[in-house]
Amino acid sequence: MSYQALYRVWRPQRFDEVIGQTLITQTLKNAVKTKQISHAYLFAGPRGTGKTSMAKIFAKAVNCQHQVDGEPCNECETCKAITKGTMNDVIEIDAASNNGVEEIRDIRDKVKYAPTEAEYKVYIIDEVHMLSTGAFNALLKTLEEPPANVIFILATTEPHKIPATIISRTQRFDFKQIQAKDSLSRMTYILKEKGLDYDDEALKVIAKASEGGMRDALSILDQVISFGDDKVTLDNALLVTGAVRKQLLVTYLTQVTHQETQKALMTVQQILDEGKDPERFTEDLVNLTRDLLLYQQSPELVTQIEMDQVDSDFKQLATEIKPQQLYDIIDDLNDIQQQMRFTTHEDVYLEVLTVRLAGHQKQPNQTTGASQVDHSVIDRLESEVSNLKKTLAELQKAPATGATPKRPAVVKTMPKPKRTQVNLSKVYPILGAATRQDLSALQDVWSDLMNILSIPQRSIMGVSKPVAASPDGAIIAFDYAFLQQRANADQELNDALENGLDRLTHKVPKLVFVPTDQWPQIRKTYLEQHQVASGEDDGTTPPDDQSGDEGNKSETEPVVDKAKELFGDDVIDVKSD
């Protein structure tokens, strides 16, 4: 038989074998034992935390004829068929590649047929958030009224992209990231079962590099085993993960804290010569500064997080460095990380980072009893305070004496607020097809749409309102430009708005956000352009029509008619020049 990856060979086959999800496993086991099985479940959580494995175990448990305390026996023909993936009544679907309406309609048509081999027909839909809006609508009715012998299990890493109408018809279970100590114990168990030699420190490095995913941890372990010829060593784990030794990180941070720039640059060069990833190095530095801050407040917490990887050098650095220095280091690291994403010369940025960090630091033990503050600065500040006091005294006397106090000769130029750019190529097509009826329909459901949003999303949209709408789009005006910019950049908010409108109006119009202070000018410009396009045939239109004939006035002022058609009579106020 060909070689199989560790995460496939050691995939959990019982609820008790699932790592780090005790609450979920206990709930599902009790549901199987008491026969309180729901028709639909939603498993949400980060990658590699056991969502698909849990779904298959649950499918076995509900169909196993010999289950004990909610656990499948894994010995009967039904359990073996589900484990191998040959059971016709357990259907696993990848929504990333089967996300259309036709695939879901096919499920809806076949779901009414009774299972042929098992007691329950189980549909496992992985990455369900990838389904299209039409596919979600096709799935909705089936989830609402499914046959008695059908169970749906929806798995996703991005539950915020799933419509609320789907979520409300399922039992939701949120999988959490696997703690490093749980990953460590599972890898230790597997290596002992395989009879392989390993280094405890190497497994700790792998557990931290997996970032809460058990599947990621086993994949990295697989690489380390192959690289080390069936031996798991610390050096091999560091090479495979690209991580830097904790001792080297502490040494580097100690050097920049003591302003030893040359030594710190040599340490950086050593790290790069070993082939370490610069971005991973900065990420490890961020984690180290976090650990130092936490250690100053709660040493026991850091000892638990770092799995007892706290040595004397780390403790010494934690006592020397000040919290404000750590805050500054984190700010500098964050800036460098942003810049390194757009460059191919990451080593240069690491050297710049080293010089900057060393230049910002000042050892707290360098000061002596004598003051080393620049006295010229103190004198200048005292002079400025004295001048301010005199100015304040003159201002206080001014109302009584009628004298005009002399203002300080300081002129500050306030920067002009940056004007938000609006993409008119998206606005004008909506205005071209806008109607008063579409705007009224959107205004009627606007408050309900706001109630669907989360509290942070509602805080952004609370100062907005629809000002124009067409069958396929809508223009939303924001009282504050910075909130309009945040709304434009928040994809999660846009998805929530589209899902909410789909639920309330059964349409998903394209939303365009504009600042309220720019909206009148945008509307005026569009109307003027429309007037030129429609009035070229019969010459110019007089500015005032004194005939009193309403029909003639309407004909000579097409821009007014168009404005009323778009926005309604109640918001249009016609004034003569």
Comparing CA positions, the residue from 36, 41, 80, 43 lying closest to residue 62 is 36
In three-state secondary structure terms, 246 is helix
CB neighbour list of residue 450: distance below 8 Å, 6 or more residues apart: 458, 461, 462
In three-state secondary structure terms, 254 is helix
Taking the CA atoms of residue 491, residue 492, residue 493 and residue 494 in that order, the dihedral angle to the nearest 10 degrees is 50
SS3 for 50-118, per residue?
A: CHHHHHHHHHHHHHCCCCECCECCCCCHHHHHHHHCCCCCEEEEECCCCCCHHHHHHHHHHCCCCCCCC
494-497's contacts with Cβ under 8 Å and 24+ in sequence apart are: 495/160, 495/161, 496/160, 496/452, 496/453, 496/454, 496/457, 497/449, 497/453, 497/461
**Interior angle at CA 305, CA 304 and CA 308, nearest 5:** 55
Bridge partners of 478, per DSSP, are 464, 515
HSE-up of residue 365 (Cα within 13 Å, Cβ side) = 7
CB 514, CB 550: distance < 8 Å: no
In three-state secondary structure terms, 128 is helix
Comparing CA positions, the residue from 425, 439, 424, 265 lying closest to residue 352 is 265
Rg (Cα) of the chain, in Å, rounded?
Answer: 33
- Helix, strand, coil percentages for the chain (3-state, nearest 5): 60, 10, 30
Question: Could you give phi then psi for residue 72, rounded to 5 degrees?
Answer: -70, 150
Amino acid at 218: L
CB 531, CB 493: distance < 8 Å: no
CB 493, CB 487: distance < 8 Å: yes
- Domains of the chain and CATH, by start: 6-174 (3.40.50.300), 180-241 (1.10.8.60), 246-363 (1.20.272.10), 424-537+554-571 (3.30.300.180)
Q: Does the predicted TM-score (pTM) go above 0.85?
A: no
- Give the full edge-to-edge strand order of the sheet including 171-174: 90-94, 121-126, 150-156, 40-44, 171-174
Q: Going residue by residue through the chain, which has 577 residues, state the pLDDT in tens, using 9 for 90 and above.
A: 477 888 888 889 999 989 888 899 999 999 999 889 999 999 999 888 899 999 999 999 999 988 888 899 989 899 999 998 888 899 999 888 887 888 888 888 888 888 888 889 999 999 999 888 888 888 888 888 888 889 999 999 999 989 988 999 999 999 998 888 888 889 999 999 888 888 888 888 888 888 888 888 899 998 899 888 888 888 888 888 877 777 888 889 888 888 888 888 998 888 888 777 888 888 888 888 888 888 888 877 777 766 666 677 888 888 888 888 888 888 888 888 888 887 778 888 888 888 888 876 554 444 444 344 456 667 777 777 787 877 777 777 665 444 444 544 444 444 444 556 777 888 888 888 888 888 888 898 888 888 888 877 888 888 899 999 998 899 999 988 888 888 888 888 888 888 888 888 888 888 999 998 888 888 888 888 776 444 443 333 333 333 334 444 444 466 666 666 666 665 566 665 5
Taking the C-alpha atoms of residue 217 and residue 180, their distance in angstroms, rounded to an integer, is: 10
CB 475, CB 466: distance < 8 Å: yes
CB neighbour list of residue 299: distance below 8 Å, 6 or more residues apart: 310
User: Taking the chain, what is the end-to-end CA distance rounded to the nearest angstrom?
Assistant: 89
83-87's contacts with Cβ under 8 Å and 24+ in sequence apart are: 83/13, 83/56, 87/117, 87/118
